[in-house]
Chains A and B, each alone.
Chain A
């Protein structure tokens, strides 16, 4: 399956890319949301609200990017939300333990982590990659259905989160966490800049390299990919590792904003990540989608919810709206694919 029409812009394809963009319903949905927002609320396009919007996009966008790569291979990763919390908890617990080994108290009164933050972040990223690899090995080599494998991971990680924290929160108040959670680079929050950096890296890899293109091949027709000599299992593991790393980065951004990590946080966010990938046009059956379109999905999703929140619409109705948009997105996406094929 080709990624044509869904790929990122390059200099030579900018014209067709922009033309394609203008034909894309999700782009018009985003334009419509912003237009309605600016017409109906004096607060919608204020700097403060746009900043909120960018911060909201960062966490769910990072989770969705990882999910997109897994979905491209025709698999699913339900463990992302549990992993985003687990990875940070492991970072804190491991560093606190290491501190006790070398005789330094890094977990001070009130469960505040006072040790080296960079090391926590490094361990969190490694944990994300490690858990992703375990998921991938289970799916690719042990032939466990990805739904089952990652559902088990989700449950186990939620349990581990409680075991490792004993139900108590860890406070993360170091300058580096504050910087990630609160600082801005010009008008852009650091968390959103991190999301953009990951997005660019993934676009470059998935849509700009031969290896990245193999995710589409596997998702489009795995047997054909295998017969073509692609070591599909390795790429499936790689997709889960990417998803794990994205989850860990999302965890760092998320907990930096809350300045704490707590076992029950982010419950259900895996469904939001799936929803955004699907709204962005990624097919659950694999082979169709791109990180670029997941960006559009993230913006549409967050901007829509933000508009409802600005209007003071209750969360029940917001959930209803998500459901309706999701159904419409899946329907429109199917229709447009049929049109392209015909």
Chain B
């Protein structure tokens, strides 16, 4: 019988981490002693404090104010990793994704680890539901891949994976069905915060531990939230821009207004550049994670403005759409002074890394979908806590901040960037060509 205390978990995490470090010493040499997570959190605090004190760039300040970024940024958790975990590049397990059939190197499999084999009461079958949106989206398939991989390591876990097809009401109904079926645990990837709070509240009221992945819900009683590193994403886009160019005319391709990804990434980016007078906001589009919309908006912007120097993109899909439009218009080198239009991206899809290698996209802040396994482990620990077998994991489970990826190695405000060849965690299919 597996009975876990948090101390045991931490000890095993440290042991597994140490084992995982052995073959990757060359990568580790790049990491600062205190870890990239801590460095980035310190920079987040620095730029956030400066932006709160004042934002001298009026155009940036106006956009920041109009979309109410402060409300979102102030409540987005920034903090230490659970149990003092320190992530270093190179850590994690390699496997074939059960859904995508792609080879995956998952970065955080050593975070809050569970040993392979039956969990908790080995004579009991634990039924866990994972509901998310988008079996047709590489990022989300990868999320499901990691969750299913973790579940498959434990023979007494039965995982049901349901795609709610971006219908929040349907996701609520799925959760209600699992409540009726008296599931042992629920893990969800909510698209939007507001509508998913009530179903989570109902699950918790029914005594079912519930864990959200990546995005948040409006529930205040949710068992745990496995949070991504949106703040570090937008921050690093801003740091790169400041490092590479003291001025520039920016067009924005953003996700849905009100989504956590847009609010935190774009807000953090604006916080970093908000006190540099040389940046202008030329155009601001919401392309809702759709490559085709990002293509169209960028094509429109290229018609409207002859002096675009920066394309800020809240996600990888947007960046690829923007790049396609810029290439099709033959405008890659049409920034003032004949310079290349700088393309800033998030999400470390393999095709984005390919464009970084080629010098077309300038940087990407990794936002890994490979966190589903943490959700499964967290919900198992909550079930264990309910059964009195172990302590519950923390309510906020921060995932490690990841360093940005650039074509050449750089040091930007203490962050050692990694090159695409040093990044084994990219997701999605290999890009052709």
Q: Which residues of A does B touch, CB under 8 Å?
A: 43, 46, 48-49, 52, 55-56, 59, 109-110, 162, 165-169, 171, 181, 254, 257-260, 262, 264-268, 306, 309-310, 312, 314-316
Query: Which residues of chain A come closer than 8 Å to B256, judged between CB atoms?
Result: 167, 264
Query: A165, A168, A254: which has the most chain B beta carbons within 10 Å?
Result: A168
Interface residues in B, total, Cβ within 8 A = 35
Taken together as a complex, chains A and B put the C-alpha atoms of A258 and B176 apart, in Å, by 12
Q: Which of A109, A110, A314 contacts B162 (CB 8 A)?
A: A314
Task: Flag B153-171 by CB within 8 Å of A: 1 or 0 each.
Answer: 0000000111111111110
Q: Please provide the 10 A-B residue pairs with the shortest distance between their CB atoms, ordered closest to farther.
A: A167-B257, A169-B194, A260-B194, A258-B195, A49-B180, A48-B180, A167-B258, A168-B258, A309-B177, A52-B176
Q: Which of A56, A162, A259, A262 contacts B198 (CB 8 A)?
A: A259
Q: Decide if B76 is an interface residue (CB 8 Å cutoff).
A: no
Q: Which of B135, B174, B177 contacts A49 (CB 8 A)?
A: B177
User: Would you call B174 and A309 a contact (CB within 8 A)?
Assistant: yes
Q: List 10 A-B contacts (CB under 8 A).
A: A46-B180, A52-B176, A59-B169, A166-B257, A260-B197, A262-B192, A309-B173, A309-B174, A312-B160, A312-B162
**Besides the contacts A46-B180, A52-B176, what 10 more A-B pairs have beta carbons closer than 8 Å?**
A48-B179, A168-B68, A169-B194, A258-B172, A264-B256, A265-B169, A309-B177, A310-B181, A314-B161, A316-B135
Q: Decide if B193 is an interface residue (CB 8 Å cutoff).
A: yes
Query: What is the count of residue pairs linking A and B with beta-carbon distances less than 8 angstroms?
Result: 90
Known: A48-B180, A309-B173, A310-B177. A315 touches B164 (CB 8 A): yes
User: Would you call B162 and A315 a contact (CB within 8 A)?
Assistant: yes
Query: B177, B198, B218: which has the most chain A beta carbons within 10 Å?
Result: B177
Query: B172, B194, B195: which has the most chain A beta carbons within 10 Å?
Result: B194
Query: Which residues of chain A come closer than 8 Å to B389, judged between CB atoms?
Result: none
Q: Decide if B286 is an interface residue (CB 8 Å cutoff).
A: yes
Query: Which residues of chain B come closer than 8 Å to A314, judged between CB atoms?
Result: 161-163
Taken together as a complex, chains A and B put the C-alpha atoms of A264 and B256 apart, in Å, by 9
Taken together as a complex, chains A and B put the C-alpha atoms of A46 and B168 apart, in Å, by 24
User: What is the CB-to-nearest-CB distance from B191 to chain A, in angstroms, rounded to a whole number?
Assistant: 9
User: Would you call B177 and A257 a contact (CB within 8 A)?
Assistant: no
Q: Which of B162, B163, B198 contacts A257 (CB 8 A)?
A: B198
Known: A169-B258, A315-B163, A315-B170. A52 touches B195 (CB 8 A): no
User: What is the CB-to-nearest-CB distance from B212 to chain A, in angstroms, rounded to a whole number?
Assistant: 16
The residue on B at minimum CB distance from A258 is B195
User: Would you call B181 and A43 a contact (CB within 8 A)?
Assistant: yes
User: Would you call B286 and A169 a contact (CB within 8 A)?
Assistant: no
User: Would you call A169 and B192 a contact (CB within 8 A)?
Assistant: yes
Task: Flag B283-295 by CB within 8 Å of A: 1 or 0 each.
Answer: 0001000000000
Q: Of residues 256 to 312 in B, which have CB atoms within 8 Å of A's CB atoms?
A: 256-258, 286
